[in-house]
Amino acid sequence: MSRIRRDNDSRRTTWLFVSVAVGIFLVIFLAARGHLNPVLTNTTVISALAPFQRAISWAGDKVNGAVTTVWDIAAVYYQNNELKEEVIALRQQNLQAAEYVSENIRLREMLNYKQSAVQFDLMPAKVIGRESSTWTSVISINRGSSDGITANMPVVTEKGLVGVVTEVSPHASRVQLILDPRSSVGTLVQRAESRVAGIVQGNPSDAVLPQMINIPRNSDIVEGDTIVTSGFGGVYPKGLMVGSVAEVKNDSGGLLEIAYIYTAVDFQKLEDVMIITASREAPPQPLTPPKQTPGTETDKDGKPIGEGGK
């Protein structure tokens, strides 16, 4: 009996369910085409929902704000770390770029010098070491006997004389600077009226101010005179710039004078040098005719040209 009732109940439920479902299905189409409006208006439901939505929205905004803040802080933290790494990388890059720029400038200057100093065969070299001795001034360069370097080869930069190669190993050499008290460079005053000769050697009292000795008293040498190599002695070719006279003093013996020299080369910034592997007599400069006064021009044979020549 009860089983029959249960079956009837179940069948009724199923039919009810199907009917409701079909009913709703029809409602969807009727409502979609505007033939049916809900009894409970949207306004009622919206009004009932509004306080909850407002409260939860407010809470959501707060939570979202807090989460956003935390997220932003985390993002800023990671961004900060990334930026720090980037700054370090960029600094290194910048340093490297500045180094390249500096090297480029030096090499350009050296190249210009090499192109202008046609009487010399020059070999570029890098300074790879510098002796930190109080009494001597010696540098190491990255060229040696395997590059054809031998002792007594002069070393220069585009600005002037640096020193001379004193010791040679297969892949490196030692250069004695003109600042070294042991060095002796035959020099003379470049000024045509003077041409006073002397010897430049390192100054034990002032390591950056070499002195020119053996200058006869009352010689024509004044502050600012340019000092170049004289070519005497055979080590240094003639005409290499050494520096300019900073001060002239009488020697303690009273017969000679001493001139202190501002070197042309800045030895504090010595990075690239050139070794003179061979030198020859410089070719004479081509003669250029002097500028002629307009109206009095003459040709190469001295004959007047222009209106006066007709």
Partner 1 sequence: MKKFLAWLLFVLVIYAIQSSFISLVYFHGIGPDMLLLMTGSVGFLKGKKLGAFYGFLFGLFQDIASGTFLGINAFTKLIAGYVCGIFSNRVLNDSFALPVAAAFLNTVASFVAFEIIMMLLGYRFNFLTHLQLKLGPLVCYNVVFAWPIHCAVRWLHNKTADMK
> Where along the sequence are the contacts to partner 1 (CB under 8 A)?
13, 17, 20-21, 24-25, 27-29, 31-32, 36, 38, 40, 42, 45-46, 48-49, 52-57, 59-60, 63-64
How many other CB atoms sit within 10 Å of the CB of residue 154?
A: 22
Closest CA to 245 of 220, 212, 271: 212
Q: Tell me how far apart the alpha carbons of residues 215 and 167 are, in angstroms, rounded to a whole number.
A: 30
Structure tokens at 43: 């306004």
Q: Which is nearer to partner 1, 45 or 88 (CB)?
A: 45
Q: CB of 272 within 8 A of CB of 107?
A: yes
* Bridge partners for 174 per DSSP: 140, 167
Q: Which is nearer to partner 1, 50 or 89 (CB)?
A: 50
Least distance (Å) from partner 1 to the CB of residue 52? 4
Q: Tell me how far apart the alpha carbons of residues 272 and 274 are, in angstroms, rounded to a whole number.
A: 7
Least distance (Å) from partner 1 to the CB of residue 60? 4
Dihedral pair phi/psi, residue 92, rounded to 5°: -60, -40
Q: Which is nearer to partner 1, 14 or 94 (CB)?
A: 14
Least distance (Å) from partner 1 to the CB of residue 41? 8
Dihedral pair phi/psi, residue 36, rounded to 5°: -140, 130
Least distance (Å) from partner 1 to the CB of residue 71? 12
Q: Which is nearer to partner 1, 37 or 205 (CB)?
A: 37
How many other CB atoms sit within 10 Å of the CB of residue 212?
A: 27
- Positive or negative, the CA dihedral 189, 194, 197, 199 is negative
Least distance (Å) from partner 1 to the CB of residue 86? 32
Q: Which is nearer to partner 1, 1 or 32 (CB)?
A: 32
At residue 276, the 3 state secondary structure works out as: strand
Least distance (Å) from partner 1 to the CB of residue 40? 6
At residue 260, the 3 state secondary structure works out as: strand
- b/e code 179-201 from CB counts within 10 Å (16+ = b): bbbebbbbbbbeeeeeebbbbbb
Least distance (Å) from partner 1 to the CB of residue 74? 17
Q: Which is nearer to partner 1, 13 or 250 (CB)?
A: 13
Least distance (Å) from partner 1 to the CB of residue 35? 11
Q: Which is nearer to partner 1, 27 or 305 (CB)?
A: 27
Least distance (Å) from partner 1 to the CB of residue 90? 37
Q: Which is nearer to partner 1, 32 or 192 (CB)?
A: 32
How many other CB atoms sit within 10 Å of the CB of residue 162?
A: 26
How many other CB atoms sit within 10 Å of the CB of residue 92?
A: 10
Q: How far is CA 125 from the centre of its chain?
A: 19
Q: CB of 137 within 8 A of CB of 179?
A: yes
Q: Which is nearer to partner 1, 50 or 73 (CB)?
A: 50
